[in-house]
Amino acid sequence: MGDADAKKPDVPAAAPQQLKDFVECTGTTLGFKVGDKLDWFPDPVPTITIGEISTTAAGGVQIKGSAAEGFVSVSVTISVSNGKLDAQLEGLTNFVGGDKAADWVKQLNDWLASNGKKLDAPKFDKAKKTATIAKSAAKADPKSHHLALQISDNMAEKMNAVLNVASNVSRYYTERGEEVEIEIVAFNDGLHMLREDTSPVRERIKNFQKSMTNVSFAACKNTMDTMEKKEGHAIPLVADAKLVTAGVTRLMELSEQGWTIVRP
């Protein structure tokens, strides 16, 4: 969901209670109105008094104000993208606090994500000249599964068995709303499965490539080089089959990345 080691951002002692609750994840909304003071950020970022609130063409909220010290005019554009806060501060470009503000916003995003929270798009009330950002529970990432299937035999029944497994596994997880990525790795005599000129399942592979985009095909280059040398001509592969240096090492790499390896 988020970084388990995320650190809660510091909030000034004098900050409004709604901000403290928002950061503590006990409050769900953060509101802004003209006259409010933005004192979210750590020193040396100055406290900004809101003078104007409006919307942006991109659906964000623009808050204009000035620093309490009065020596700089600041415009803050607040938007939410992919559940995260983005605060662009103009007027602090040459001010030492500009980077501090960006760091604070990132820390807030990481902290909320670690607590399973996401931000909703800010809402603007034109009549009241107020803006509100609400947070809600982030949707859990769908489970993701990874399966590598080995084919190393030049036997149509085994090739069809590999395709059957890929089809069944893909359908099973799709119906559960979970993601699955499948790679069929062909080497040794099994490379014939991916040869355009000798594959007994060529048409079925073409159908797979149209209807199951989560299934990919990897051809062993070492095997292909050996076949080309023996047969004296280039070996044509089915469309979209990718070359890997060696089928066995490809399976080893996928296994080390957490993939399940199966030889039907």
Write out pLDDT tens, residues 132-164: 888 777 665 567 899 999 999 999 999 999 999
Residue 133: strand pairing partners: 30
Say what the pLDDT of residue 13 is.
77
Say what the pLDDT of residue 234 is.
95
3-state secondary structure of 97: coil
Say what the pLDDT of residue 1 is.
42
CA angle 151, 154, 156 (to 5 degrees): 90
Say what the pLDDT of residue 126 is.
78
**DSSP, residue by residue, 194-243:** GBTTT-TTHHHHHHHHHH-TTEEEEEEHHHHHHHHHHHTSPPPB-TTPEE
Whole-number Å distance between alpha carbons of 255 and 243? 18
Whole-number Å distance between alpha carbons of 4 and 247? 37
- Output the six-digit token pair for 176: 């559960």
Whole-number Å distance between alpha carbons of 224 and 210? 25
Sorted by where each starts, the structural domains of the chain and their CATH numbers stand as 17-137 (no CATH), 144-262 (3.40.1260.10)
Say what the pLDDT of residue 92 is.
54
Whole-number Å distance between alpha carbons of 249 and 221? 11
Q: Half-sphere exposure of 1 toward its Cβ, with a 13 Å CA cutoff? A: 15
Say what the pLDDT of residue 5 is.
65
Residue 172 near residue 206, CB atoms below 8 Å: no
Say what the pLDDT of residue 143 is.
74
Residue 130 near residue 53, CB atoms below 8 Å: yes
Which single residue is written with the structure tokens 């409004």?
A: 16
Say what the pLDDT of residue 41 is.
63
pLDDT under 50 in the chain at which residues?
1-2, 70, 93-96
Say what the pLDDT of residue 145 is.
93
Say what the pLDDT of residue 42 is.
61
pLDDT tens digits for 32-45? 888 887 766 666 66
